[in-house]
Amino acid sequence: RGHTVVWHKQLGGWVEQLDAPALRAALEHHIRTVVGHYKGKLLAWDVVNEALGDDGSPRKTVFLEKLGPGYIADAFRWAHEADPQALLSLNDYN
């Protein structure tokens, strides 16, 4: 199982400096590169990690703020396109 492709923690400072189009392009490139590298080698991926806050609302992250809530669907689509056979999940707690 691959854990995790998209997470709002452990990001380089440069990520928050990107404008929305550049962030979307970087996120797509990252997902396609990582998932594609392991295509056929992993059964499943945690595509997005901790996207929800403790109250169940969308967690305020650089991805949500700049790309809107659709970034989650985009991440799953790109991961699926990179490895159509992998099981994909959103990893969260509570």
Query: Which token pair is 28?
Result: 């797509």
Count: domains in the chain: 1
Residue 40 CA to residue 46 CA, distance in Å, equals: 15
Confidence of residue 7 (pLDDT cuts 50, 70, 90): very high
What integer best gives the mean pLDDT of the chain? Answer: 97
- In this prediction, residues 11-15 reach a mean pLDDT of 94
Q: Where are the alpha helices (DSSP H) in 1-94?
A: 13-17, 20-37, 62-67, 70-82
Supply the pLDDT for residue 28: 99
Judged by phi (left if over 0) then psi (alpha if -120 to 50, else beta), residue 38 lies in alpha
Which residues fall within 8 angstroms of residue 83, CB to CB, at 6 or more apart?
Answer: 35, 36, 38, 39, 40, 42, 45
pLDDT in tens, 20-51: 999 999 999 999 999 999 999 999 999 999 99
Q: What percent of the chain is modeled with pLDDT above 90? A: 98
- Write out the residue range of the structural domain in which residue 27 sits: 2-91
- The pTM of this model reads 0.94
